[in-house]
Amino acid sequence: MGMRPRALRLLLLLLAFLPLTGLAAAQELDQVVAGLESTYGKINDLRAEFSQASANKSLGQDIKAEGTVYLKKGGKMRWDYKSPAPQQIVSDGASLWVYTPELNQVNKGSAPKALAGPAGSFLAGLGRVRDEFNVRFLNPAQKVDGAGRVVLDLTPKAPTPLLTRLVLAIDPKDSVVRQAVLYDQFQNTVTMSFTKVATNSGLADSLFAFTPPPGVSVVPLEIR
């Protein structure tokens, strides 16, 4: 089975918020936000292993997946899913491809259109957090979770049906975002956990180019 449209949209919205490395374990909210905004500009590319859990609250479903993600400034991205079934989501910043081998199909669309909204603006730089979100600690009385990670709760000032809340957990030991949880209007969630994060390793642009394999059908990508 290919990725469901709602899960794909939530995943695309997440892309803007993954490369938040370099945050100090600051206990004051303004310091955390200032660190986020100042350090994002220093990151040109990022690679990480990820695990994903998409939870549908009304249906009681919890779908898990895992793989490797590559990001580069200019809206370039590549998500290589290894399980539950191979799938690739690739963008060079202009076009977006979703390749599902078991369907022998590639969906192609416009990356700017697919990433419209908060994700599109943040892909160019995470420098306007307070313009786009109301930010607070998830628990002001205890700013870290049981794993010692600083947890931020972001609410869009202009919520969309597919993004009404974003919760980020940051590991103060190595200043890496270890988990991001996205909520939609029905409280369905996509939880992404990251390991083996590497930044500014010089990822080649060719990694974000996609050529459909011979014999694979190409159909328009429709994300509603």
In tens digits, the chain (224 residues) has pLDDT values of 455 555 666 666 555 454 444 443 344 887 777 766 666 667 788 899 999 999 988 888 889 999 999 988 888 889 999 999 999 999 998 999 999 999 999 999 988 766 654 444 333 334 466 777 898 999 988 888 999 888 889 898 888 887 889 888 877 766 667 888 889 889 999 898 989 988 889 999 999 999 999 999 999 987 65
To the question of pTM greater than 0.95 for the whole model, the response is: no
The domains of the chain are located at 5-211
Say which residues have a Cβ less than 8 Å from residue 85's Cβ, sequence separation at least 6: 1, 100, 101, 102
pLDDT at 215: 92
pLDDT at residue 128, as a whole number = 62
Residue 100's H or E segment, with its range, is strand 95-100
Backbone dihedral region for residue 200 (phi beyond 0: left; psi -120 to 50: alpha; all else: beta): left
pLDDT value at position 27? 47
Sheet holding 133-137, edge to edge: 133-137, 150-156, 165-171, 176-183, 189-199, 45-56, 61-72, 76-83, 87-92, 95-100, 105-110, 217-220
What pLDDT is stored for residue 203 in this prediction? 95
What 106-112 contacts at long range (C-beta under 8 Å, 24+ apart), as own/partner pairs, is 106/210, 106/212, 106/216, 106/217, 106/218, 106/219, 107/218, 107/219, 107/220, 107/221, 107/222, 108/218, 108/219, 108/220, 108/221, 109/220, 109/221, 109/222, 109/223, 111/75, 112/75
**Which 3 state secondary structure label does DSSP give 90?**
strand
Structure confidence at residue 205 (pLDDT): 95
- Bond from prior residue into 84 cis (ω within 30 degrees of 0): yes
| Residue 118: per-residue pLDDT | 40
Paired sense of beta strands 95-100 and 105-110, if any? antiparallel
Q: What is the pLDDT of residue 40?
A: 61
pLDDT for residue 171: 72
pLDDT confidence of residue 182: 87
Tell me, what's the pLDDT at 125? 35
Give the CATH architecture of domain 5-211: Clam (2.50)
What is the spatial distance between Cα 158 and Cα 149, in angstroms, rounded to a whole number?
A: 27
